Amino acid sequence: MSLVQPQPKNKSAIDMFSFNTRTTLSITFISLLIACSLTVIFHFINEKYKATFICFSTTLGVGIVGTSALYAYSDIRLSIENQASDRKSSLEDQLTKRALDYIKLWNDPQYLNSNKTAIDIYHQLHSKPASQKAKFAINLLEQNPDKRQEITNALNFLNEIAICCQEKIVEEELIYNYYRTTMITYCDTFSTYIGQTRKEINDQDLYRPLTNLCEEWEKREK
């Protein structure tokens, strides 16, 4: 079941479209009625007035056709605008749903251990002098492969979300409101580990979307 309720259509736009459609049909009917009437009158009018009558009928016909065309154009334009509005609303719903799905996933049991490990390491780091923090974090993860894997899994997941924000395929504002503190804390706590891993695999772009996004968000807070 979708977490996003469908957006109601703009009632005023629908009413206007119905009004224009009814008006166009009315004008068409009246045009036919006038045309029939003028045809009948033409057969009974005096010969010397027929040229004037033809001119008058032509002018009237052009006016009616122009009015009908104007209303038809209004109907078409309104229909196109409504379709564009519906597509925009549908896209926004998709972006919101993806963001909510990522929020829901972070609370999944598979990330509970990762979060617990990250919190433990965070508190241990903050109890150490600044000069020892980097070395302590690296040694801790190297000596505990299970913890290293848990942190790697969490970083991979957060980097995936950052890529989605970068490519604008999720509603970033929702992600920002929910993940801001988590992402910035992970990047700060495991910055040394991220840097070492980049050197180990010779890839300076590893977790780049995540670190870039955190830098942008930190600037927003200032």
User: Helix, strand or coil for residue 36?
Assistant: helix
113/61: higher pLDDT? 113
Task: Looking at the structure, tell me whether residues 126 and 177 fall in a common domain.
Answer: yes
Q: How many Å apart are CA 162 and CA 169, to the nearest integer?
A: 10
Q: What is the CA radius of gyration of the chain?
A: 34
Whether 132 has a pLDDT exceeding 60, the answer reads yes
208 and 163 in a single domain? The answer is yes
Q: Give the residue from 33, 38, 72 showing the smallest Cα distance to 58.
A: 38
Residues above pLDDT 90, as percent of the chain:
46
Q: Which residue is it, tokens 């010397």?
A: 48
Here the tokens at position 45 are: 């009018």
Whether 97 maps to a domain, the answer reads no
Q: Is the pLDDT of residue 62 over 90?
A: no
Distance CA(106)–CA(174), nearest Å, equals: 14
pLDDT band at 16 (very low <50, low <70, confident <90, very high): very low
Beta strands in the chain (DSSP E): none
Whether 3 is covered by a domain: the verdict is: no
The residue among 221 and 126 whose pLDDT is bigger is 126
pTM of the model: 0.64
Q: How many domains does the chain have?
A: 2
In angstroms, the CA 121 to CA 102 distance is 24
* Amino acid identity, position 75: D
The residue that leads in pLDDT, 15 or 70, is: 70
Is residue 157 located within the same domain as residue 217? Answer: yes
Residue 133 in contact with residue 195, Cβ under 8 Å?
Answer: no
Tokens of 17: 């479209």
Q: Is the pLDDT of residue 214 over 90?
A: yes
Indicate whether 6 pLDDT > 50. no
Whether residues 83 and 116 share a domain: the answer is no
Lowest mean pLDDT segment, chosen from 43-52, 79-88, 145-154: 43-52
Residue 122 has pLDDT above 60, yes or no: yes
CB 184 within 8 A of CB 217: yes
Q: For residue 29, what pLDDT is reported?
A: 60
- The 3-state secondary structure of 42-79 reads HHHCCHHHHHHHHHHHHHHHHHHHHHHHHHHHHHHHHH
214 within 8 A of 183, measured Cβ to Cβ: yes
Domain stops at, among 43, 63, 89: 89
Alpha carbons 71 and 74: distance in angstroms, whole number: 5
Q: Does 196 share its domain with 115?
A: yes
How confident is residue 148, by pLDDT bands cut at 50, 70 and 90?
very high
pLDDT at residue 112, rounded to an integer: 86
At position 18, the amino acid (one-letter code) is S
- What was the pLDDT predicted at 107? 86
Q: How confident is the model at residue 113 (pLDDT cuts 50, 70, 90)?
A: confident
Confidence of residue 109 (pLDDT cuts 50, 70, 90): confident
Residue 180 pLDDT grade (very low, low, confident, very high; cuts 50, 70, 90): very high
